[in-house]
Amino acid sequence: MIGKGARWGIALWLSLVYRAERNRHRYYAGARGLRILNFHAIPHADMRRFQAIVEWSLDHFDLANPADIDAVRAGQPTTWRRDKIAFTFDDGYADHYRAARWLSDVGVRAIFFVVPSFIGRTIPEYLEFHHARGVRAFDFAVDPRSRRGMSREEIQELVQMGHRLGAHNYGHRSLGDLRAACDMRYEIDNALMAVEEICQVRCEDFAFAFGHPAFISDEAIRYLEGRCRRVYACVRGLNVPGLTPSFLLREDVLLSYPLRLVRECMVGGADDRYAAMRSQLLARTGRLPLQEI
């Protein structure tokens, strides 16, 4: 188990050896791109740390809103002076509403990927909802800090603030284990349709549960490609049209890590640790398109 002091030392070493710039040239041909951060539960005790990460990001990156993500996915060249950064959230925990309000106050528009069956329910109610349908859903109680999903009213307010709502599975099961059309309809179509019903517009953003290549089958990849425009993984890296996977890269931010290590990861200092996963996604989903200038 790596302690906090050791992680701080790792961050210092990554900085001293200029690992971030080396990774940029090794994996992205020196290009600038879009980095997407992803958060899960943000309990009250971690709120200030979350805010510090966002504030540092806004000082060291240009801010990307959801429309900028759309442009990168469509292949618009990233001929920027510096990298852009965007923020996403998975699952739809109740504490995301507080984060959404603060982000709105500082001018940030994020994407919230919700598990629709978790909306307005406690974890036991959500599990029983799926059990009654013969499905063993993922148990969010593995993270004891969050016990309830956002309410429908909070989610509607979130959209009114200017944030975007996306889908994140229906029972949060691994799509790596699912290949049958009935399972795709349950996990993917149900989630997308529920988000569409809330927003009254077509949902084109889907983040698959757990986010690594091992957690999505080839059948699920093809199904999602035919169902929505933008699919999001949870694999660390910079999104650069023409070079990186068509499933958008995001990196989970662990609020328990020292801020110095989080910052070093955000600028690319640990991108080499996920090179194999990016290669797997690239082989299975193809590249982001690149429009001609």
* Residue-wise pLDDT tens digits, 63-121: 999 999 999 999 999 999 999 999 999 999 999 999 999 999 999 999 999 999 999 99
Residue 140's pLDDT is 85
Does 293 map to a domain?
Answer: no
Q: Is the pLDDT of residue 8 over 60?
A: no
In a domain, 292, yes or no: no
Q: Is residue 17 packed enough to be buried (19+ CB in 10 Å), middle (13-18) or exposed (0-12)?
A: exposed
Average pLDDT of the chain?
91
- Tell me whether residue 243 is in a domain: yes
Whether 234 shows a pLDDT value over 90: the answer reads: yes
In this predicted structure, the answer to whether residue 279 has a pLDDT above a threshold of 90 is yes
Mean predicted confidence (pLDDT) in 191-206: 96
Instruction: Tell me how many domains the chain contains.
Output: 1
Domain containing 165: what range? 4-284
For the segment 250-262, the average pLDDT, to the nearest whole number, is 89
The pLDDT of residue 6: 52
Domain assignment of residue 219, yes or no: yes
The answer to whether residue 290 is domain-embedded is no
The arithmetic mean of pLDDT across residues 166-170, rounded, is 97
What confidence category does residue 19 fall into, taking pLDDT thresholds of 50, 70 and 90?
confident
Q: Is position 289 within any domain?
A: no
Average pLDDT over residues 34-57: 95
Count the Cβ atoms, other than its own, within 10 Å of residue 75. Answer: 15
**Any domain includes 291:** no
Percent pLDDT > 70 in the chain is 92
179: CATH: 3.20.20.370
Is residue 69 in some structural domain?
Answer: yes
